[in-house]
Structure 1
Amino acid sequence: MLRIHGIPRSRAFRCIWAAEEAGLPYEVVPIGFASGFKLERPLAINPNNKIPALEDGDLVLFESLAINLHIAKKAGAPLMPSGDDESRVLQWTLWTATEVEAHVLRWGYNTYLKPPAERVPAEASAGKEALDLRLAVLEGELAKRPFLLGEAFTIADLNLACVLYAARANGYDLARFPKVVAWIDACLDRPAARRARALREG
């Protein structure tokens, strides 16, 4: 059984959703946050002392996107396809990490995550400006196909949709990107996503 350390209202949500999509048994080992975005207690199996972390038998992993790639590989296609499409999954997952997430966080910290007195509107604007450039790229790609790789939903879609999920839920303006909106809706309306979201949103 997969053991996912974290709480649904954190990056562990991605791993919970991935486990649901994969149809693999899992348990969530709850560990949340104290003030200042610090863990409420040390997480010995992650040298970075961050969540999530995964135990899968003798294997211990940190980094949520790496965890998700591992879960998807256990499930196989269509969640993790083979051949050239596996490389495309890696491409979009790394794009999520390097081109998207930092800008989502820059906007988010200065819009809703930090206390109001600590928010810097110029930082929020800069984050949105940078993210909108990436969303324009995504809009163009999704004009060609319903999901990142084609007709089938893969772990690449899940990884990117998770990063954009909280921003959208907290008022990020996506009006310029109707294809992105339709794609997020399609991702988040999947049965596995709804089960994971019930844990996060409930």
Structure 2
Amino acid sequence: MLRIHGIARSRAFRCIWAAEEAGLAYEVVPVGFGPGLKAAMAAINPNGKIPALEDGGLLLFESLAINLHIAGKAGAPLMPVGDDAARTLQWTLWAATEAEPAAMQWAYNTYIRAPELRDAAQGAAGAEALAARLAVLEAHLAAGGPWLLGQDFTIADCNLAGVLYGAWANGFDLAPCPTVKAWLDAALSRPAALAARRQREG
């Protein structure tokens, strides 16, 4: 059984969603944020952060790497082969390096930090940067789709939609990117996503 260390109101949400999509048995080992986090996670993740995964003797950290492992256990179509395996890695890394930094800059200065700690200029810069990335995604999805790699939902969709969940759930303006909005709506309404969202939102 997969053991996901973390809480659903963290990046562990992505891993819970991936496990649901894969149809694999899992348990969530509840480790939340706070002063004891580093000590609680030291034996599992040397970075002292959540999430982390135990799969037998394998220990993994980094939520998107965990998801690639989970998808690999499930196989196709969740984890494609051939050229689509490379495209899955491409979009997963794009989620981490292009989409997430901008999304988090906006999020920290819009709804995560206490109001007195928010920087409106930083929030606006994050929103502008995220909008530029979403324009790239809009063009890609509009040219193909309905999913990132075509007709099949893959872990690439789970990973990128998981990264964008906070923006989607907290009112980021998706009106300029209707195809992205439709893709996010569809991804986050899948039965596996709803099961993960119930843990996060409930």
TM over 0.5: yes
> Is the CA contact 2:6–2:29 (under 8 Å) kept in the aligned structure 1?
yes
Counterpart mapping for 1:63-78 below 5 A = 63-78=62-77
8 Å CA contact retained: 1:108, 1:167: yes
Q: Where does 1:92-111 land on structure 2 (aligned, <5 Å)?
A: 92-111=91-110
Distance 1:105 1:41 in 2: 25
Aligned-partner SS, 1:42: helix
Residue correspondence of structure 1 range 38-53 to structure 2 within 5 A? 39=37, 42-44=40-42, 45-53=44-52
RMSD of aligned residue pairs (Cα, Å): 1.1
Are 1:54 and 2:75 matched, yes or no? no
Secondary structure of the 1:166 match is helix
Alignment correspondent of 2:151: 151
Give 2:112's aligned residue: 113
Query: What amino acid maps onto 2:169 in structure 1?
Result: A
Contact 1:6 1:12 in 2 (8 A): yes
Question: Paired residue for 2:19?
Answer: 19
TM-score scaled to structure 2, two decimals? Answer: 0.97
Q: Which one-letter code corresponds to 1:185 in the other structure?
A: D
Give 1:41 shift: 5.0
> What is the percentage of aligned positions where both structures have the same residue?
69
Gaps of 5+ in 2: none
1:160 matched to which residue of 2? Answer: 160
C-alpha contact 1:32 1:40 (8 A) present in aligned 2:
no
Any stretches of 5+ residues in structure 1 without a counterpart?
none
| Residue matched to 2:87 | 88
> Secondary structure, in 3 states, of the residue corresponding to 1:29?
strand
Q: Which segments of structure 1 move beyond 6 Å, counting only runs of 4 or more?
A: none
Task: Render the CA deviation track for 1:64-119: whole Å, top value 9, x for unaligned.
Answer: 00000000000000000101100000000000011010000000000010111000
2:181 is aligned to 181
